[in-house]
Amino acid sequence: MKRITGDAPSGRVASGFSRREFLRGSGAAAAATALVGAGEVAAGAQDADKGDGVARGKITVVLDVNGAKHEVQAEPRTTLLDALRNQLHLTGAKPVSTDPSSGAATVLVDGKPACAASMLVLQAAGKKIQTVESLGGTKLDPVPAAFVSADAEQCGFCTPGFVVAVRAFLNEHPKATDDEIRSGLNGNICRCGTYANIIRAIAIVRGG
C-alpha cells in the first residue's frame, strides 16, 4: 500500500509558512528591529527568538490610518489587512486573495496604491495609510459618488478596492483618456461584471 505521510500542504494561502520563510531569509528579528528603530513602533514584549530565526510574539505598533494614530498588536507576520480589518474594524479593504492579484485589498500608503493583504504591519508603520473609509462619511468623495450614480457595483465586494484604485489612478491622471482608463486599471477583479459601469464612473469624475 502506498502511504503518504507529511505536513499539510501549505499552498500559497494555507499558512503563513511562505511568509515566515521569507522572513527567515531576511532575518525577521532584524527587520522588526529596523522598523522599531523608525520610531513608530511602541515598546512591546517581543518574545525571544526561539532559535529558529523567526521572531515571535506581539508588539504594539502605532499605525497612522485615515489621519489618526491607532495602536495595534502585531506579530512580525501580521498583515496590514489583518490589523485594519480585525483590530481597527476598518473592513472596507477585502480579503479576496493573499497576493495583490485581485486588488480587493487596495489602500493608499503614502498616497500610492498598495495591497494591504501582502504588506506587513511592520512595513506600514510610520507611513500614512488611507483606506476606502476615508472617502466616505459626511463628505462623499467624488469617486464613490460616481460609483453610485453609474451603478458601478453589484455585490459590492470588489468595490472598495476598485474605488481606492480609481482614486489613486485619477490622482495621477486626472485627465486620463478612455484608452488610459482601460489599460490603467487592470489590477482589480470584479466577478459580478461591473467594469463597463466603472469606466462610466471614471468618466463622470474626469468630466466629459
Residues between 160 and 199 that touch ligand FES (CB under 6 A):
190-192, 194
Interaction with ligand FES in 124-153: which residues (CB under 6 A)? 153
Beta bridge partners of residue 60, listed in sequence order: 73
Of 131 and 194, which has the nearer Cβ to ligand FES?
194
> For residue 108, which of 138, 157, 141, 77 has the smallest C-alpha distance?
141
Could you say whether residue 95 binds ligand FES (CB under 6 A)? no
Among 46, 75, 115, 122, binds another protein (CB under 8 A): 75
Task: Report the sign of the C-alpha dihedral through residues 43, 49, 50, 53, in that order.
Answer: positive
Cell 458601478 belongs to residue: 152
Among 29, 118, 195, 203, binds another protein (CB under 8 A): 195
Of 115 and 158, which has the nearer Cβ to ligand FES?
158
33 contact choice in another protein, ligand FES, none (CB below 5 to 8 Å, kind-dependent):
none
Could you say whether residue 109 binds another protein (CB under 8 A)? no
Alpha carbon distances (Å) from 49 to 3, 53, 76: 36, 6, 12
Could you say whether residue 61 binds another protein (CB under 8 A)? no
Could you say whether residue 46 binds another protein (CB under 8 A)? no
Q: Cα separation of 98 and 91, whole Å?
A: 16
Of 119 and 163, which has the nearer Cβ to ligand FES?
163
Tell me which H or E stretch contains 196.
Answer: helix 195-206
Q: Are 205 and 143 in contact (CB under 8 A)?
A: yes
Residues lying near ligand FES in the complex (CB under 6 A): 153-159, 190-192, 194
